[in-house]
Copies of this chain bind each other. A is one copy, B any other.
Amino acid sequence: MLEQKDLNIQSLSAAEKEKLCEELRRKIIETVTACGGHLSSNLGVVELTVGMFSVFDFPRDKVVWDVGHQCYAYKLLSGRYDAFSTLRQKGGLSGFPKRKESAYDCYDTGHAGNSVSAAMGLAKAFDLKGEPRRVIAVIGDGSFNNGLIYEALNGLSVLGVKILIVLNDNDMSISPTVGGTHELLVQSAKSEELKKKNIALIEQYGVKYIGVVNGNDLGEVTAALKEADALLQTTSVLLHIKTKKGMGYDFCEENPVKTHGVAPDGAIAEREYSSIFGEKMLELAGKDGRVVAVTAAMTDALGLRPFFNTYPDRSFDVGICEENAAVLCAAMAQGGLKPYYAIYSTFLQRAFDELIHDVSAQDLPVTFCIDRGGVSGADGETHQGVFDLSYLSLIPNIAVAVPKDGEELADMLEFSLTYDHPLAIRYPRSARAAFGRRRKVGIGTFEYLTEKSDADLTVLAAGERAISLAFDLRKETGVPFDIVNARFVKPLDEELLKDISSPRILTIEDNVLHGGLGDQIDRFYLNSGKRIDNFAYFDKFIPQGGISQLQEEYGWDRARMVACILNEKP
């Protein structure tokens, strides 16, 4: 049924719709097992998605998927069945909603908590243009903790729009959902009295509450959507559904954390920086009672589970609340603790003001452990970690370190323990290489990875991927240039830089060109007469694809690098 191009879901019988749900589940499991992607979150919303197609008129009506990693069934039902096998591959379907992909996708998402605001903005636009359309935000209980939700609810009366918010409550963000807001939801589902209180709460924002509905029961969820639709004439609605993440796939139901994101079949499991980080954090905590770890709903992916198990009193998963986590770290540091805030590069963007205002302006010793730095691959535009070296380096007082390998990450963490200022340590997901030399980590120190020579060219590379590439190019071209581990993007090792006698410099970094290492090296050697070439990413959003392919295409142009190394005129 799923492969029918003209499938009219509204005309299907209940039994046919049930069958459609089965087909969707099968197709999702089959594809994610082959291509990688988000599995359990997508399996949980199959009935909801079919229910929405039964009640609403897409693409005339609009749905904003919060985070967006649960949109697979929606994609399969909106003309993308044939393309679905290209999921998360270069040039293929995105694992997230993408406006450029289909008229059914009205708002691109990837980060958490913006769906209610986005639905409100769309609804306001349609109101002002006199177009009666229904606008729906589908949001998980994990995202519902994010401060943006509260800001959106607060603004609902200002905008005066009527939207449907479907709160998909599955007790899980990526890690199990934590915090007070989630507790309210859990209790609502259990106690009539608490449910009434929650209804009172949400309804004071001008939102009618419906729930709790079994979101994996197609009949029940469809009926609730119909009820919500009727109410939308006069009010915004919050439809609270319970679903089971991974519903219908036994392995997932039992392992929702592990199967949140799935690697494609046959992917080689490498050592991850997160596990090196997690081990070292355990060691640091063991010898220094001030050490605390903070995360925003990513304990496992960041390697902190052993720490959380061993030091529960010094471990804080505050839910998808990146800003709160940053302020807590600043204040804990001010109170005499030594906080480590582990986070993905792309999500730290949410705490940019707190990085400036709370941590750096007060010069507090918070250490940011930034995973998924650089091109991150299959999740596409919204998940690349290619801006961090730039937005961090522009902030006074914070040092920005980029380890060359797992051992150096551990050394940098060791160094951080006695460093009394803000520090960011940034690394990609996988640790593939190990470079032997280990010059003691001091603030703003680089190290030569080859013997310092009188070579004509010195390559300054930041991070494992850039350094590996430098070594590859040295081998490939046979040119014996010097290679320097530019392990602090800020501050620079001015002494070492001043001492470089080679007339040519080449920089490589896993970051956009603007404001990264290259810009700083250019500035350092300004008016020096040295020839400098910078390799970093172009001023473009980088889509999904294989990591090395994207790097090559978006700035690490190997042919141009070789020409530079051979000193050929470009």
Contacts and interface: CB of A to CB of B under 8 A. Distances in A.
Given A154-B319, A323-B148, A515-B394, A331 B122 contact: yes
A540 B512 CA distance: 23
Interface stretch (A39-47, A53-61, A102-110, A244-252): A102-110
Interface stretch (A7-15, A83-91, A177-185): A177-185
A421 interface: no
Contact of A129 (B159, B336, B396): B336
A222 to B, nearest CB: 27
Contacts of A119: 331
A316 interface: yes
Q: Say whether chain A's binding surface is mostly helix, strand, loop, or mixed.
A: helix
A453 B137 CA distance: 59
A119 B124 CA distance: 37
Contacts of A381: 361
A78 interface: no
B205 A180 contact: yes
A558 interface: no
A362 B151 contact: no
Interface stretch (A26-34, A196-204, A269-277, A438-446): A196-204
A525 to B, nearest CB: 9
B159 A180 contact: no
Interface in A330-345: 330-332, 334-337
A309 interface: no
Interface stretch (A211-219, A350-358, A544-552): A350-358
A167 interface: no
A150 interface: yes
A128 interface: yes
B114 A327 contact: yes
Interface string A117-133: 11111111110110000
Contacts of A146: 147, 151
A527 interface: yes
A526 B522 contact: yes
Nearest to A353: B349
A397 B358 contact: no
Nearest to A184: B204
A468 interface: no
Given A148-B327, A526-B522, A157 B180 contact: yes
A111 B353 CA distance: 9
Interface in A70-116: 99, 106-108, 110-111, 114
Contacts of A183: 157, 204
A78 to B, nearest CB: 17
A394 to B, nearest CB: 4
A224 B99 CA distance: 54
Contacts of A164: none
Contacts of A327: 114, 117-118, 121, 148, 152
Interface string A513-532: 11100111011001100011
Nearest to A292: B128
Given A99-B362, A353-B111, A394-B515, A155 B541 contact: no
A527 B519 contact: no
Copies of this chain in the oligomer: 2
A281 to B, nearest CB: 16
B514 A321 contact: no
A110 B357 contact: yes
A114 B358 contact: yes
A318 B514 contact: no
A182 B153 CA distance: 11
Nearest to A159: B316
A193 to B, nearest CB: 10
B206 A180 contact: yes
A324 interface: yes
Contacts of A329: 121
Contact of A397 (B394, B533, B541): B541
A336 B396 contact: no
A334 B394 contact: no
A156 interface: yes
A423 interface: no
Interface stretch (A385-393, A426-434, A494-502): A385-393
Nearest to A204: B184
Contacts of A354: 114
A170 interface: no
Interface string A219-261: 0000000000000000000000000000000000000000000
A515 B198 CA distance: 47
Contacts of A353: 111, 349-350, 352
A111 B357 contact: yes
Contacts of A390: 390, 394, 515
Nearest to A326: B117
Instruction: Give 6 closest A-B pairs by Cβ, nearest first.
Output: A147-B147, A125-B335, A121-B331, A150-B150, A151-B324, A151-B321
22 contacts: A107-B362, A111-B357, A114-B323, A117-B324, A118-B331, A120-B328, A121-B335, A125-B336, A126-B335, A147-B147, A152-B324, A152-B327, A158-B178, A158-B179, A349-B353, A390-B515, A394-B512, A394-B515, A396-B541, A518-B523, A519-B519, A527-B531
